[in-house]
Amino acid sequence: METTALQQRVDTSDLELKVKSMYRDVALNPREEYHFEMGRPLAEKLGYNTNDLNNIHPASIESFAGVGYFFDLAGIKPGDKVLDLGSGSGMDAFIAALKTGRTGYVTGVDMTDEQLDKANRLVEDFNLDNITFVKGKIEQLDFDDATFDVVISNGVINLCPEKEKVFAEVARVLKPGTGRMAIADIVSERQLPENIVCNSTLWASCIGGAAQEDNYKSIIEAPGMQVVDVKRNTSYEFLSKSAKGACDKYGVKSVSLLANRVS
Ligand SMILES: C[S@@+](CC[C@H](N)C(=O)[O-])C[C@H]1O[C@@H](n2cnc3c(N)ncnc32)[C@H](O)[C@@H]1O
């Protein structure tokens, strides 16, 4: 579906409020019930390395609400500059910072104040100097062209009505030729119908905004990236009945993918 058509069908300001409200709750009340799994059990199930999890702040793990594992694709090296889009309470960013070491740097961007406040508190708790969390919308990044070696993101871009803008920004801030994007996200095998796309609660739960998988790949590649690896995260599953129903009917699923920034 074209973004413009989509924007006419979804109330994007209502959507942003719903997304912020849901992920404020995820930051503040990680033990509540949501449409999706969370926390360390989810991270372990998705394939996160135990050592990595043991070496980051546990409070970042309790609010983890990602949908897949992508560090095997990202190949983050010491010295790399990494950007995490929709960094939440910071679990992936903290793991990335273990891999970049102190010669590299990780920046997380998120639009929800409570997620940012929590992530920044955890940076202070562990006295880390190679990671920062900043407020922003990932459709309009406040960084120079060709700044980053790696862009990561987990369970976020499906929440954005303007996915073309997000991937254009990713291509812009990645270093041409060597830069790469490794993400996990929700896509669908078939185009979702109006009643699901226009349900802002299902959207905020990472279902309503799932792009059809071939469209998703085209949107990534349009601004100068090439998708080189895609794998399905079969262990990721939604919890509520309405979410499960949409998944079964339309093939809504989690994938991790690697795209290289072409020169
Ligand atoms: C499903 S959570 C995932 C958080 C984190 N990546 C994780 O794995 O726990 C989605 C996050 O993306 C943020 N987000 C959603 N849309 C955004 C946008 N357009 N710009 C910036 N942040 C956004 C939300 O505030 C929320 O923290």
Tell me how crowded residue 74 is: count the other CB atoms within 10 A of its CB: 24
Q: What is the pLDDT of residue 169?
A: 98
Q: What is the mean pLDDT of the chain?
A: 93
How many residues can be counted in the chain? 263
Query: Does residue 24's CB lie within 6 angstroms of at least one atom of ligand 1?
Result: no
Can you tell me which atom of ligand 1 is nearest the CA of 206?
1
Please report which confidence band the pLDDT of residue 4 belongs to, taking 50, 70 and 90 as the band edges: very low
Asked whether 156 lines ligand 1 (CB < 6 A), one says yes
Classify domain 3-261 at the CATH topology level: Rossmann fold (3.40.50)
- Band of pLDDT at residue 251, cut at 50, 70 and 90: very high
Instruction: Give pLDDT tens digits for 144-203.
Output: 999 999 999 999 999 999 999 999 999 999 999 999 999 999 999 999 988 888 888 888
**Ligand 1, from 45, 110, 154: best to mutate by most atoms within 8 Å of Cβ?**
110
Reported as a single tens digit per residue, the pLDDT across 52-106 is: 999 999 999 999 999 999 999 999 999 999 999 999 999 999 999 999 999 999 9
The residues spanned by each domain of the chain are: 3-261
Could you give the CA distance from residue 214 to residue 216 in angstroms, rounded to a whole number?
A: 5
Residue 112 Cβ contacting ligand 1 at under 6 Å: yes
The encoded tokens of residue 135 equal 């407020």
Pocket test for ligand 1, best of 16, 17, 23 (most atoms within 8 A of CB): 23
Closest residue to atom 4 of ligand 1, CA basis: 88
Q: Which residues touch 206 (CB under 8 Å, ≥6 apart)?
A: 35, 36, 67, 155, 158, 159, 186, 238
* 92 pocket-lining for ligand 1 (C-beta < 6 Å): yes
Q: Helices (DSSP H) in the chain: which residue ranges? A: 3-9, 12-28, 39-46, 50-54, 58-62, 71-74, 91-100, 113-125, 163-173, 194-197, 200-204, 213-221, 241-250
Q: 155: Cβ below 6 Å to ligand 1?
A: yes
Ligand 1 centre from 87 Cα, in Å?
6
